[in-house]
Amino acid sequence: MSDESDPIEAGLRTEGVRVTRQRLAILHVLREATDHPRAEDILARAKEQDPSVSQATVYRTLSVLEKAGTVLRNEFDGAGARYELAEGGHHDHLIDLDTGAVIEFHSDKIERLQAEIAAELGYEIEWHRLELYGRKSGRRR
Amino acid sequence: MSDESDPIEAGLRTEGVRVTRQRLAILHVLREATDHPRAEDILARAKEQDPSVSQATVYRTLSVLEKAGTVLRNEFDGAGARYELAEGGHHDHLIDLDTGAVIEFHSDKIERLQAEIAAELGYEIEWHRLELYGRKSGRRR
DNA sequence: AAGGGATCTGAGACTCATTCGCAACTTGAG
DNA sequence: CTCAAGTTGCGAATGAGTCTCAGATCCCTT
Ligand SMILES: [Zn+2]
Ligand SMILES: [Zn+2]
Ligand SMILES: [Zn+2]
Ligand SMILES: [Zn+2]
């Protein structure tokens, strides 16, 4: 049932992480997702594929995948955490306050500036979080 | 009992926000604080001044002060929210992963870059959050 | 292909920060 | 001083996320 040609799956397996039916369903959901879904959404979508998936397993799996570096967990303003696959490299987010849409962006310049600032303070950044909250230009508040 | 010469207090009053004993105690705690305290800490410290302050009031007051622009609410990684007075202008935070210390910094360059990036995407930033998580340079992980 | 021990999983109880509901109490305009 | 509107304390209620544990699965070994 498992597709050995899949790199993520193979990677997990070699890391000693068991690849179960439920985990595959959750991984599948994340692959299809384009919207940084919340655990709740992931559960609903995973159940369509495999009704046996439970809430606890969604949280546990997301946690496992995060530790394995496969998944990224975002905590945008308030509300619960939102997840996405880590493939594709680092990026930051711009959240549309009117629609809730999440737009991804990346700026080497900003990344570099952050490192410089930290260095000036005598620190080395382990990770960071940059979120911009705004609305489309020229839109009444 | 109220000191009319205090700008924050006067400001709240003119905004129609009632200045109560409890609110003064909480404001006082925030003025003395240098550590971005959590609601729990604020409650404990406020009680030293006025034992009648309750948990619900701390949350309600912080919410009122936040809406009034007097207080800033930060949600650093995990755990609960941490507060600070808004006076002193905008700044971002660097959190020491080893000690938990919160260091403030400000970079016009980064602020400008953020606006530029948002503009390129057709957006205007309403607010943003930039948090750097790191450790003192040259420290084994 | 079969065995079996370590890993998972589902269901529901549980945690913990924050919010609510409501009767009693204060504040501050007049 | 008076009183309506705004606040408060208490305890109950939320809600995202975690934990417990018996039973189900995975997958390494023979
Ligand atoms: Zn970044
Ligand atoms: Zn993203
Ligand atoms: Zn900033
Ligand atoms: Zn600060």
Of residues B117, B126, B134, nearest to A97 (C-beta): B126
- Report the distance separating Cα B84 and Cα A46, nearest Å: 41
Of residues A109, A117, A137, nearest to B105 (C-beta): A117
Residue B117 has pLDDT above 80, yes or no: yes
> What was the pLDDT predicted at A133?
96
> What was the pLDDT predicted at A110?
97
**pLDDT tens figures, B63-108:** 999 999 999 999 998 789 999 999 889 999 999 999 999 999 999 9
C-alpha A102 chain-centroid distance: 12
- Report the distance separating Cα B65 and Cα B44, nearest Å: 18
Under 8 Å between Cβ of A35 and A83 = no
A81 touches chain B (CB under 8 A): no
Q: How many Å lie between the alpha carbon of B129 and the closest alpha carbon of chain A?
A: 5
> What was the pLDDT predicted at A4?
54
The residue of chain B with its CA nearest to that of A96 is B123
Q: Per 3-state DSSP, what percentage of chain A is helix, strand, and coil (rounded to 5)?
A: 40, 25, 35
Residue B30 has pLDDT above 80, yes or no: yes
Q: What domains appear along chain A, each with residue ranges and CATH number? A: 7-85 (1.10.10.10), 92-134 (3.30.1490.190)
CB contact set of B69 (below 8 Å; sequence gap of 6+): B86
C-alpha B11 chain-centroid distance: 18
Nearest of B112, B47, B115, B36 to residue B74 by alpha carbon: B36
**Any idea what DSSP says for residue A62?**
H
**pLDDT tens figures, A43-99:** 999 999 999 999 999 999 999 999 999 999 999 987 889 999 998 899 999 999 999
Report the C-alpha dihedral over residues A106, A111, A114, A115, rounded to 10 degrees.
160
Residue A103 has pLDDT above 80, yes or no: yes
Average pLDDT, chain B: 92
Nucleotide C16 C1' to residue B55 CA (A):
14
Q: Angle CA(B118)–CA(B104)–CA(B110) in degrees, nearest 5?
A: 25
- Output the DSSP codes for chain B: ---TT-HHHHHHHHTT----HHHHHHHHHHHH--S--BHHHHHHHHHHH-TT--HHHHHHHHHHHHHTTSEEEE--SSS--EEEE-TT---EEEEETTT--EEEE--HHHHHHHHHHHHHTTEEEEEEEEEEEEEESS---
Which residue ranges have CB below 7 A from strand C?
Answer: A 16-18, 20, 22-23, 52-57, 60-61, 64; B 2, 13, 18-21, 38-40, 55-56, 59, 63, 79-81
- Nucleotide nearest to B54 in CA–C1' terms: D9
- Report the distance separating Cα B141 and Cα B137, nearest Å: 11
> What was the pLDDT predicted at B141?
61
- Nucleotide nearest to A40 in CA–C1' terms: D16
Nucleotide C15 C1' to residue B126 CA (A):
35
A135 vs A97, B66, B92, CA distance in Å? 6, 21, 21
> What was the pLDDT predicted at B140?
65
pTM of the model: 0.89
- Select from A108, A120, A121 the residue whose CB has the most chain B CBs within 10 Å, as the one to mutate to test that interface: A121
